[in-house]
């Protein structure tokens, strides 16, 4: 399993690793409110008390996962793409990286994608739950929009459709995929070929 060990620079022990893995899985699968610390602790094989040694509270654990695990993990996926090439290749490479990550046996990528997407979606300010605004700058997918725009200028992408529209469509598509991957697991999940997405823009 190609874990991005570098992201876990702050991990102090295997216990911490286990906690983060369990927490990310559960938060991504069930959502914040539906996940209890006891569940995480049980899944991680430790007592719930220990969670409080590593993290101030439930929310801090969640926050840590978003900022220090999920976000870097997705950023890293795209990092290696050569953004200097033509937009259509950038888009292709980025999507390819994401689809490959979702296709891989390592569930972590789908959890991470899902976690970041949940932030966008799950929450209206309310009694329970988390304020989204905090994560407004965690736009993992902000490159899509600029990429589409450039692709049009370069004459590769259709100008029939507005940039916002196409960007939205691609995002929706990725969101849907990430959920399906989390829900179905790597075995049952059938990842669409990249040209299904590329066809939207070309």
Question: Where on the chain is the footprint of DNA (CB under 7 A)?
Answer: 1-3, 7-8, 11-13, 15-16, 35-38, 46-50, 52-54, 56-59, 127-128
Cα separation, 111 vs 28, whole angstroms: 5
Contact 86, 129 (CB under 8 A): no
- The token duo for 109 is 């990528």
| Shortest CB 110 distance to DNA, Å | 23
Q: Which of 9, 128, 133, 137 binds a copy of itself (CB under 8 A)?
A: 128
Contact 79, 98 (CB under 8 A): no
| Shortest CB 144 distance to a copy of itself, Å | 13
Cα separation, 186 vs 11, whole angstroms: 26
Q: Which is nearer to a copy of itself, 85 or 195 (CB)?
A: 195
C-alpha 176: how far from chain center: 12
Binding site for a copy of itself (CB under 8 A): 29-34, 36, 39, 120-124, 126-129, 161-162, 164-166, 168-169, 171-177, 179-180, 182-183, 190-193, 196, 199-200
């Amino acid at each position: 399993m190609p874990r991005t060990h570098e992201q876990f620079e702050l991990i102090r022990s295997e216990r911490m690793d286990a906690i983060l893995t369990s927490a990310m899985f559960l938060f991504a699968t069930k959502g914040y409110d539906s996940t209890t610390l006891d569940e995480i602790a049980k899944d991680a094989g430790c007592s719930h008390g220990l969670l409080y040694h590593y993290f101030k509270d439930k929310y801090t654990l969640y926050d840590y996962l978003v900022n220090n695990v999920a976000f870097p993990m997705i950023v890293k996926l795209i990092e290696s793409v050569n953004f200097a090439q033509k937009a259509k290749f950038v888009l292709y490479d980025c999507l390819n990286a994401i689809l490959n990550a979702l296709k891989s046996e390592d569930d972590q990528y789908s959890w991470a994608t899902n976690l970041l997407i949940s932030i966008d979606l799950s929450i209206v300010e309310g009694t329970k739950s988390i304020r989204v605004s905090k994560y407004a700058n965690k736009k993992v997918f902000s490159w899509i929009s600029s990429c589409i725009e450039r692709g049009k200028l370069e004459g590769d992408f259709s100008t029939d459709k507005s940039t916002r529209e196409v960007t939205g469509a691609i995002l929706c598509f990725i969101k849907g995929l990430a959920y399906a991957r989390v829900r179905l697991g790597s075995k049952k999940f059938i990842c669409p070929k990249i040209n299904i997405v590329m066809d939207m823009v070309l």
